[in-house]
Structure 1
Amino acid sequence: MSKILYLHGFSSCGEGNKSILLKAYFGAVSVIAPDLPPSPIDAIDTIEEILESTHIDILIGSSLGGYYATYLAEKYHMKAILLNPSTEPWETLASYTGWQKRFCDEEIFEFKPVYLEQLKMLQTAPEQGKYLLLLQSGDEVLDYTKAQSLYNKHKIIVEYGGNHRFENLDEYLSMIEKFINK
């Protein structure tokens, strides 16, 4: 049985729609979905603690979680599935510095300007990992063509339409399963 580590996006939680869907499909014991702290360095530390204590077969990351998954897939030579991944979060999140509210539970947190520098330090090219990208052209938050260009040597599926939340992930679960088991 494969172990999946799901990494949520900015201002989200481990127990969101995508992780609930993944747990329902793959089994609750097969999917780990932690709440990641707002600090990118702390988020990476949290993820690496899980990677060191649990055998993880694959990373699945959405948006900012996709950016983190890329950093870790490169470092640990892992497989990763990325859903509308962020490619330049230090730019796209610049306007979100200050106090924010998480979508999932409305908990308030501070996204500090120094976090943008931390994000830039985590930048890496997708060369060592093995990736499946699921992109939607209707992403209203991120330009899907940036991810399409950055990961052009990897398997990319572009669905025309959709949105940043990738709300029809259920339609891709069998494809995700096949990629995991390859």
Structure 2
Amino acid sequence: MTIIYIHGFASSGQGGKASLFREYFEEELIAPSLSHIPKLAIDTLEQLIEVLLEKDETVGLVGSSLGGYYSIYLANKYDLKAVLINPAIYPYKTLDKIGTVMNYYDGSSFEVTNEHIQTLKGLEVQEIQTQENFMTLLQTDDEVLDYNEAVEKLSESELVIEEGGNHSFENIESYFRKIYSFLDN
């Protein structure tokens, strides 16, 4: 099995959470650093998934925040299993007011444009085909996103709701075994 870790907005495949996943899952994990441009990020992920599927690999996705939004789209498109960590459900609303943003990992800055917002709207999955393909990990004190949006959208997924926490999902490593077991089933 190959697990693709999809980082959140303004983060990196070298960020803190990605590093924890890489340390635990070792060579089974790919954590690409994706473009801040949604169209390029999705194109990179689609190419990666298609190459792995052509090699008859089992592919599982783990997406955090915006990476969770991308994971919903990709899992729905390719019929894959996905673990969503505090996923963004409506990123085109959350990011709509943002202009210049700084990357949390390397300090570089970039612009969020109207074209990016429109691309994100276009990636929205109105109706998730197979909610059993999803495990959704949420912490109620997420300071960036309202966890209730994910509960509503993914009500038939395997929901894990923890009181407290934050947007990064405190102690995510305590779920690594459960994540692997879910993706490998």
User: What TM-score, normalized to structure 1?
Assistant: 0.94
Distance 1:4 1:159 in 2: 24
Match of 2:164 in 1: 161
Match of 2:62 in 1: 60
Aligned match of 1:74 in 70, 73, 76?
76
Match of 1:141 in 2: 144
Task: After TM superposition, give the deviation of residue 56 of structure 1 in Å.
Answer: 5.0
Paired AA for residue 104 in structure 1: Y
Aligned match of 2:93 in 91, 94, 99?
91
Task: After TM superposition, give the deviation of residue 154 of structure 1 in Å.
Answer: 1.0
| Paired residue secondary structure (2:152) | helix
The alignment-based identity, stated in percent, is 41
Match of 2:179 in 1: 176
Computed over aligned residues only, the root mean square deviation of the Cα atoms, in angstroms, reads: 1.1
Structure 1: runs of 5 or more not aligned = none
Matched-pair contact (CA < 8 Å) for 1:8–1:65: yes
Distance 2:58 2:102 in 1: 30
| Paired residue secondary structure (1:95) | coil
| Paired residue secondary structure (1:66) | helix
Paired AA for residue 85 in structure 1: P
Distance 2:50 2:157 in 1: 26
Matched-pair contact (CA < 8 Å) for 1:40–1:118: yes
Distance 2:97 2:46 in 1: 28
Match of 1:110 in 2: 111
Distance 1:13 1:110 in 2: 16
| Paired residue secondary structure (1:106) | coil
Task: After TM superposition, give the deviation of residue 167 of structure 1 in Å.
Answer: 2.7
Task: After TM superposition, give the deviation of residue 49 of structure 1 in Å.
Answer: 1.1
**Which consecutive aligned stretches of 4+ in structure 1 deviate over 3 angstroms post-superposition?**
none
| Paired residue secondary structure (1:94) | coil
Match of 2:22 in 1: 23
| Paired residue secondary structure (2:97) | helix
Distance 2:10 2:18 in 1: 15
Task: After TM superposition, give the deviation of residue 110 of structure 1 in Å.
Answer: 1.8
Distance 2:97 2:158 in 1: 31
Distance 2:120 2:63 in 1: 15
Matched-pair contact (CA < 8 Å) for 2:49–2:59: no
User: What TM-score, normalized to structure 2?
Assistant: 0.93
Task: After TM superposition, give the deviation of residue 47 of structure 1 in Å.
Answer: 0.4
Matched-pair contact (CA < 8 Å) for 2:22–2:31: no
Deviations 1:97-142 (A, max 9, x none): x221100110122211211111001010222360000000000110
Matched-pair contact (CA < 8 Å) for 1:5–1:56: no
Matched-pair contact (CA < 8 Å) for 1:136–1:160: yes
Structure 2: runs of 5 or more not aligned = none
Distance 1:126 1:62 in 2: 18
Distance 2:138 2:83 in 1: 11
